[in-house]
Structure 1
Amino acid sequence: MSTSGPIETGHKPSPGEADRLSLALEALLDFYAASGVDGLVDADPFDAFSQTLQPATQSRRPEQAAAPAHPGPARREMPRPQQPATPQQPAPARAQPGATAPRPPAQQTPAAVIPGEEAVDAARAAARSAASLDALHKALASFDGCNLSRTAKNLVFADGNPESRVMFVGEAPGRDEDLQGLPFVGRSGQLLDRMLAAIGLDRSSVYIANVVPWRPPGNRTPSPQETEICKPFIARQIELVDPDILVFLGGASAKALTGVTDGILRLRGRWMPYRTATREIRAIATLHPAYLLRSPIQKRLAWRDFLAIGAALKEGENA
């Protein structure tokens, strides 16, 4: 068998076959070069990722048999960043055999209150004892009969002018109100400010509060028990402010303070009496600013209500 050609065959290739084989080999080499092959395969297998290629023709000495055939490249030690020196702290003392480790003092958290008549009676007593708005504010801050005071960040008591002739009452504060401790300061409050400006009022000429002075977790609706517990405080707050006109922002505050059962769309725009321990106050319900943000088309109804409020204020000035 002849082996004189570039490929081992059973016969000597003719000149035409040799040319075709040469062209095929050149095409194969071009394919390897285009594929990224840049070296020949060694006779001995090795891991090219962890070892360094050694010449295949290099003879091995007997004393090198125990050494790896292809040692890896020497690693360079990277300098580590110098850490600032810190004072050494004394090691903790070892516990003596049989001794028990001292327990950290337990943090005392106020226990939750089960809403009931006792909590409502306590709220009534605290509200009656307040002879001024400052005293009522302090009574609310120290009152622990409502669980909402344990989850809220701040007590949202009131904002505006307590000498005003008109008082607005909402249901409960939201996230922005809870953070700032003031009622109606979020998007709803910004809309309320624009509504007040439309009839010539601002925060310095009105008084704003809520039935529930603490934000319910997750902005959920206050439960009937929570509303009942907080109601004596807002009733006393209305008595102390003694406005000429009381405006319920939304159906929830109107229902809580007057006992009406109609929906807000039927209730709004109607004047109704609100009785305190000393006199009767004209009251009117209108749409809550948060509802108007969800249903802008209903702003026309709120505009009518605010026009009626502005007209009633002017009538009182002329009387």
Structure 2
Amino acid sequence: MQHSSEDLKNIESLLEFYIDAGVDCFLGDSPVDWTELSRRKAPVRQQPQASEVAHRTAPAEPPAHDRAAPVPTGLAPQPRTAQPAKPNNPAVIPDREVVASARDQAASAVSLEELRACLEAFDGCNLKLTAKKLVFADGNPAARLMFVGEAPGRDEDLQGKPFVGRSGQLLDRMLTAIGLDRSSAYIANVVPWRPPGNRTPTPQETEICKPFIRRQIELVNPDVIVFLGAASAKNLLGVQDGIRKMRGRWMKYPVSGRDIDAIATYHPAYLLRSPLEKRLSWRDFLSIQLKLEGT
């Protein structure tokens, strides 16, 4: 039986989902009693004689001069209860104090290097406990064009850079189509740590990380911001429209006393699943090219 290219893509996506979820083996159709299987494979031990068991288990009687005096009732030493080990980085409750702390730490950074150091030391977001690396940014901090996504994925978590997987490769090709590359743009995410299993960040996680991406935009101070997907645009622009209605429409992002031209377009991951929508993203990128040439 031959599979179409669409079927193969769906199978590949399903396998990637299973790998991200921690699945490392396939199960059969019939149940297996692993306890019974282990018992059968265990070596058979010869049962000892009753006299041997009694001899082994009976306590030896100490000499009379070595016997300790009886301990009075109530003074016998009590067994110590083992205390549970405390984790090095305990999870935090995402409350207003954590958001306020993130806002204060982000505002204290006067450079991108200091902002990155603040994020490295920040323990207010529980995503840091499960992520492998901080995914801060990639590209040219002095570029006039800045891309903002929602959160890193598996490949980004492994390399510590945003948009380096299949989505990033498509983004590179889209940049090349308008005569740009990563040295002509700066790329970041609203959430700098990968959520487990590539799930969507919770509103609390996004709210905690939002002060850092806002400060990151202030420090880069680009001429044009491109929001990749509806999530990043909704979180930073405050709009509620869906991406189909939002994309291709120029908006303003206020920062440091000026309004930055901003536009939302389809996320490259969505384009990989819906290649027919690339024609609309192509229009968006042509509009971005004209905006850069006119500013």
2:201 alignment partner, one of 208, 219, 222: 222
1:250 alignment partner, one of 208, 211, 229: 229
Task: State the Cα distance separating 1:104 from its structure 2 match.
Answer: 11
Unpaired runs of at least 5, structure 1: 1-96
CA–CA distance in 1 between the matches of 2:84 and 2:98? Answer: 30
Which residue in 1 is equivalent to 2:19? none
- Aligned to 2:115, the other structure's residue is in SS state helix
Which residue in 1 is equivalent to 2:141? 162
Paired AA for residue 291 in structure 2? A
Deviations 1:87-129 (Å, cap 9, x if unpaired)?
Answer: xxxxxxxxxx99x99x899463321111111111000000000
CA–CA distance in 2 between the matches of 1:297 and 1:215? Answer: 28
Paired AA for residue 88 in structure 2? T
Which residue in 2 is equivalent to 1:206? 185
Spell out the pairing of 1:80-119 with structure 2 (5 A cutoff): 106=85, 108-119=87-98
1:261 alignment partner, one of 235, 240, 244: 240
User: Is 1:148 aligned to 2:101, yes or no?
Assistant: no
CA–CA distance in 1 between the matches of 2:241 and 2:86? Answer: 47
User: Is 1:239 aligned to 2:218, yes or no?
Assistant: yes
Which residue in 1 is equivalent to 2:31? none
Q: Which has the higher contact order (CA 8 A, sep 6+)?
A: 2
- Aligned to 2:147, the other structure's residue is in SS state strand
2:110 alignment partner, one of 113, 131, 141: 131
User: Is 1:298 aligned to 2:270, yes or no?
Assistant: no
- Aligned to 1:167, the other structure's residue is in SS state strand
- Aligned to 2:252, the other structure's residue is in SS state strand
TM-score by length of 2: 0.72
Q: Which consecutive segments of 4 or more residues in structure 1 shift more than 4 A?
A: 103-107
CA–CA distance in 2 between the matches of 1:116 and 1:261? Answer: 24
Paired AA for residue 114 in structure 1? I
| Cα-Cα RMSD | 1.9
Higher helix share: 2
Deviations 1:107-159 (Å, cap 9, x if unpaired)?
Answer: 63321111111111000000000000000000011000000011100000000
- Aligned to 1:204, the other structure's residue is in SS state helix
